[in-house]
Chains A and B, each alone.
Chain A
């Protein structure tokens, strides 16, 4: 079998020489990519002055470019994207229908209105377009501008969309990006870069994107690249090990923007049990938050707190809801959710072990690795909850969610899907104190808008450098040299 090749793209140039072999995740699939030590000297943008060309563009022109790129990435016409999708099946954790569907969303994520929001919502286009002038109460007149930086993006591989978002944010902030591809998706960002080269080889946006693969943690390589003379920012998406090993290179002049590894939860209030139709509605929404993209996202629901009550009657309600969620999850459309590609054998063992502890747990499904709903009988999560994956959720009965929910929230809690909507108002001022970062209508946890804050930070605002120009007139702004002694 011929090995798959993931060349590097460096600022408009494709490099497919000095290929060496890399193992995909699990070590079963291999691909070839340029020897990282051979390209490390070419990756950084040595002269930051080269970013000047980006400032010759209006933001509207950059938006035009991205929208045109979105059209060019159309899977039915673009051979690079077709090849990337084809190759990705072997390395991704997703099943083919889901991955293909995610590729089909690229057009939406690069549509004009979406792209405009990526910069207008977090920063405001006028701040990237020019100097914004204000007068402060001490008399100084200031102009503020958000300018680009040289950044390394360590993107996540659980969805190809993370690469798309990184490309868009890089262009809109007038930055220079080096994308480090993940081993479970070494092809998507590369296909985007190749499409950019084909579409507009000399365009400044094309000339300020590089994509390469190296094994995260390769010390010799990373020590050479991760230096303040080469980079100003590192944006790390998830992966505890990948974020952790990057921290050693952080020093004055090199900033880490960390989108930490996260887990997400769901809170379902007691009003859900008013009638069968409401329960069904909540169950379908919860099933969507668990099952979408086979629970591979950081915003995928895993632990579901249910205000069912903790007595016997309460547990019957919990079981009924669990059955409905399980049923709804198996019926989700095939582009959204399927039987998982791989089921964690340790998790399988943990679930099997629970079946022997009938006083504390019940398990719905899970015998065919299709996914499962674990019902806790006590108001406690299963001990292995960080391992929940492959469409396995843990429903926990709660007496009073407003009082009890903080116990289940910590710094790793990203999204909390909530039902019914009104319950959010009772929780949103309280749970952030313990770590919760995003509240969303139940059923929408796995939808995203990159214009919004993420993991309680605003990545785009962090990506730019905020520059000020202060004008101080002697008449309005008392000079230090003229201060009278008191």
Chain B
């Protein structure tokens, strides 16, 4: 039993044979039994090796996870992954940052030579080279940047889960052979990068394009974590009345001419992508990206008389809100009419959890068996019963990570539902009305693709024109 359970936790796509349907039809009791066993194993494995977990366990006197409810005492606030002084980033103190990050993972980071690093991009590259760790950073829209110490294997799993969810939603039964029959894949974002948004292009390659040859990103460049950090600093300085103190990193200043070129080329990027879309009329196409950009392209297409461009085989997925402005109410109709797709995939997930979930026919986001969902009282942080329908702060224990702690309280307010869903899936599901708890206080730090792209673009503008 335990061996089988750990196969599920260690590699969910393999265990479920890359099928989302398989993952969501196990009886609830069986899932919870497996979850508890895996939770206990992760705790036993990591307790002595992960200083941050050990400290929390000692403080609360926890030496065993008796049941899933008890596990909720060991979810950490997501701010734990940004608990470093932000000045360390500004001063390029990557030795101290490495030490800080080292407390949050069992991966040995001490061998990484980070003395020569002159920015976040080079720091994260050095960590990857020396320790094989693929640290992901958040968009920094809150003013600081989260760093999550994922492994290469973790990201392989994230990508495969993205494939499972996308295929399930688009009624693709079996694993397609991408070498023979790839999708022409449009990704209305950056070609690459180390943020969650920057990495999403590679999932499109893995699951639809098959190779970079069939990937057409809107911005044919990597999202720079240093530029994103500049975006974060601008926002912070604006919010705190400190724009007069904001000094641009000299190494970014030296690249000003490059940023001017980027600024000009991004202005033409939509034209380029639009022409490419029209040229591929009738082909097998995958189209994903920010809702706002998708809507703009579709509107432009309809104005020029293009309807049902690719037919019903076309796959459309989007995330994030309207770029800068508000989305038109009928944006979904506009996109469907232009592309010919039958539906538009909208997913729920977050950087910190190995979960990408789409809406079922009932409009619910189903939480997969390798993630234990909790709902916490937003004021006190105490766990609400894992029963019935509960609204509060979402927390998750992600059973996949083996090198960092998977227990995480988020900033999302969700309604989680433990009653059976009419769609037939057996798993716990989340209602579609999800919002940031910080929206109540006005301080949003939402991590979405749209926010990341916007922030990056704004920072490029700033860097291109700063004196």
Interface residues of A (CB under 8 A from B): 241, 342, 345-346, 348-350, 352-361, 376, 378, 380, 382-384, 386-387, 410-412, 435
Contacts and interface: CB of A to CB of B under 8 A. Distances in A.
Nearest to B103: A356
A352 B77 contact: yes
A346 B412 CA distance: 12
Contacts, number: 78
B312 to A, nearest CB: 44
B8 interface: no
A353 B380 CA distance: 16
Contacts of A358: 103
B76 interface: yes
Interface of B: 52, 55-56, 76-80, 82-87, 96, 99-100, 103-104, 143-144, 239-242, 245, 378-381, 393, 409, 411, 437-438, 441-443
Given A353-B76, A354-B83, A383-B86, A359 B99 contact: yes
Contacts of A356: 52, 55-56, 76, 80, 83, 103-104
Nearest to B380: A345
Given A349-B409, A350-B79, A383-B144, A355 B240 contact: no
A352 B75 CA distance: 11
Among B87, B378, B411, residue most surrounded by chain A Cβ atoms (within 10 Å): B87
Given A345-B380, A357-B103, 7 more contacts: A345-B381, A346-B441, A349-B409, A352-B79, A355-B55, A358-B103, A383-B85
Contacts of A350: 77, 79
Contacts of A349: 77-79, 381, 409
A383 B143 contact: yes
Among A345, A349, A359, A411, residue most surrounded by chain B Cβ atoms (within 10 Å): A345
Nearest to A354: B83
Nearest to A263: B240
A39 B387 CA distance: 48
Given A345-B381, A348-B381, A356-B103, A380 B87 contact: yes
A421 B441 CA distance: 38
A353 B245 CA distance: 28
Contacts of B437: 345-346
Contacts of A378: 85, 87
A410 B240 contact: yes
Contact of A357 (B84, B379, B443): B84
A359 B85 CA distance: 10
Contacts of A435: 241
A356 B80 CA distance: 7
A376 B85 CA distance: 9
B379 A342 contact: yes
A360 B80 contact: no
Among B78, B80, B381, residue most surrounded by chain A Cβ atoms (within 10 Å): B80
A412 B79 CA distance: 25
11 contacts: A241-B442, A345-B437, A346-B411, A346-B437, A350-B77, A360-B100, A361-B83, A380-B86, A383-B143, A383-B144, A384-B79
A354 B144 CA distance: 14
Contacts of A410: 240-242, 245
B167 to A, nearest CB: 36
Nearest to B445: A346
A363 B277 CA distance: 56
A241 B441 CA distance: 11
Contacts of B87: 378, 380
A371 to B, nearest CB: 17
B79 A353 contact: yes
List the 7 closest pairs (A to B, CB-CB), nearest first: A349-B77, A353-B79, A357-B83, A353-B83, A411-B241, A353-B80, A356-B52
B242 to A, nearest CB: 5
A412 to B, nearest CB: 5
A357 B144 contact: no
Nearest to B378: A345
Given A353-B79, A356-B55, A386 B100 contact: no
Contacts of B82: 353, 383
A32 B79 CA distance: 39
Contacts of B56: 356
